Chain A
């Protein structure tokens, strides 16, 4: 019962997909509000990069770009112990939150078989997934009424899930969930020949259903 909304934002900050799991949200927020919400969240990513503490600036994505211009400066010297802190390790949660996927669960099997979702054979026995270097990407926003979790794919698509405080979901679990949404997205949406990249996903009933199924399997609704 804790997930309230799921948003997908393209790399230029436009909302391409959103699904609300709360009736009040459906009633009170119109599509324009949702677009504003998405672009605000997108701009927060730029801000967190700007206010990166000076100590961490050598890890940031844009650091190496400016390096080329100033040749006099020292080479980037990152010792091994520092490098080990990034990338971040995410603890792996299987679908259905620790419940082993049983072979007789038809829906789950179908969903797993049809898509290349993270969390099937490849990661089954591993404890950690290594997230790529997200030095200044927001991962979690915590207020006393809401939790907002972020996952940014390496191509710049952002997945955002907004949840209430009824259950403490944890960053790792939600990152795993959003990785699965990413893999669903790449399967069901991007492989569709009639979908133009970076445009809003409209009338894709298959994707809608599968998201709903995934969310139910994860016990998030």
Chain B
């Protein structure tokens, strides 16, 4: 049984577009809203950690297998799965379109959470966000909102409902 502490989605402009944090004791929910600077700060740190660690493992791997960048169109890609610390683990799923889904759970070495993340991407995100014509195509509407400076996020009550319905039994 896994405890879930929080759930995050980042888009390819390095912006956090969805975040929700759970309090296991009181089942209190902290969400990403436009005003909460606490979650925005935390999202930046979270993205920074995932970004720098995946970049580090990627460059190290390329050097260890003596890889030379030959084809600039299709570079070597590696997937970054998990950071585990003494008290919690961060599981990530990076899709080919550059979205990063990330679940923060307690430490449990057996659980990979890959199936859960794939499910969230395929069944919940796709249904309520990608194929919903009233959501943005791209959460950064102008140049100034790229590179982690954006503030728009998913505000979709059906999406919320499905995410909670999926995560609550796991709490």
B57 x A143 contact (CB < 8 A): yes
Distance from A178 Cβ to chain B, minimum over Cβ atoms (Å): 14
Whether B64 lies near A86 (C-beta < 8 A) is no
Tell yes or no: B48 within 8 A of A by CB. yes
Convert B85-96 into 0s and 1s, putting 1 for each residue whose CB lies closer than 8 angstroms to a CB of A: 111100000000
CB distance from A8 to the nearest CB of B (A): 17
Q: Is A48 interfacial (CB 8 A cutoff)?
A: yes
Known contacts A135-B86, A139-B86: A144-B81 contact under CB 8 Å: yes
Find out whether the CB atom of A53 lies under 8 angstroms from the CB atom of B66.
Answer: no
**Residues on A with beta carbons closer than 8 Å to the beta carbon of B109:** 171
Number of interface residues of B (CB under 8 A): 39
Nearest CB in chain B: distance from A9 CB, A: 14
Q: Is the CB of A40 within 8 A of B52?
A: yes
Question: Closest approach, in angstroms, between the C-beta of B33 and any C-beta of chain A?
Answer: 16
Q: Which of A161-177 contact B (CB under 8 A)?
A: 162, 164, 171
Please report which residues of chain A, range 126-168, place their CB below 8 angstroms from some CB of chain B when the two chains form the complex.
131, 133-146, 148, 162, 164
Contacts of A148 in B (CB 8 A): 57
Q: Is the CB of A144 within 8 A of B21?
A: no
Contact (Cβ within 8 A) B48 A47: yes
Given the interface pairs A53-B21, A146-B57, the reply to whether A47 lies near B86 with Cβ below 8 Å is no
Contact of A48 among B25, B81, B85 (CB under 8 A): B85
B50-71 CB contact bits vs A (8 Å, 1 = yes)? 0011101110110111100000
Q: Which of A75-112 contact B (CB under 8 A)?
A: 86, 88
Bound complex: CA A50 to CA B30 (Å): 17
Closest to B79 in A: A144
Closest to B86 in A: A134
Report B-chain residues with C-beta under 8 Å of the C-beta of A4: 64
B82 interfacial by beta-carbon distance below 8 Å? yes
- For residue B130, CB closer than 8 A to chain A, the reply is no
Q: Are A53 and B6 in contact (CB under 8 A)?
A: yes
Residue of A with least CB distance to B30: A54
Are A139 and B56 in contact, CB atoms less than 8 angstroms apart?
no
Secondary structure at the A interface, as helix, strand, loop or mixed, is mixed
Query: How many angstroms from the CA of A175 to the CA of B48 in the assembled complex?
Result: 26
Residues in B neighbouring A139, C-beta threshold 8 A: 84-86
Does A221 sit within 8 A of B, measured CB to CB? no
Q: Complex: how many Å from CA A131 to CA B86?
A: 10
Check B23 for interface membership: any CB of A closer than 8 A: yes
B161 interface residue, CB < 8 Å from A? Answer: no
Chain B residues closer than 8 Å to A164, beta-carbon distance: 64
A56 B64 Cβ-Cβ under 8 A: no
A54 & B23 in contact (Cβ 8 Å cutoff):
yes
Chain A contacts of B30 at CB under 8 A? 54
Interface centre among A4, A28, A51, A146 (most CB of B within 10 A): A51
Nearest B residue to A146, CB-CB: B57
Q: Are B21 and A37 in contact (CB under 8 A)?
A: no
| A44 touches B (CB below 8 Å) | yes
Which has the most chain A C-beta neighbours within 10 Å: B24, B42, B54, B87? B87
| A136 contact set on B, CB distance < 8 A | 85-87
B120 within 8 A of A: no
Indicate which residue in A54, A86, A145 contacts B57 across the interface (CB closer than 8 Å).
A145
- List the A side residues contacting B5 at CB < 8 Å: 53, 55-56
A52 close to chain B: CB less than 8 A: yes
- Tell me whether A29 and B63 are in contact in the complex, defined as CB-CB below 8 angstroms, given that A48-B49, A54-B21, A143-B78 are known contacts: yes
Nearest 4 A-B pairs (CB), nearest first? A134-B86, A53-B5, A28-B63, A142-B82
Residue contacts A-B, CB under 8 angstroms, 8 given = A44-B52, A48-B83, A51-B45, A134-B86, A135-B86, A139-B85, A142-B84, A164-B64
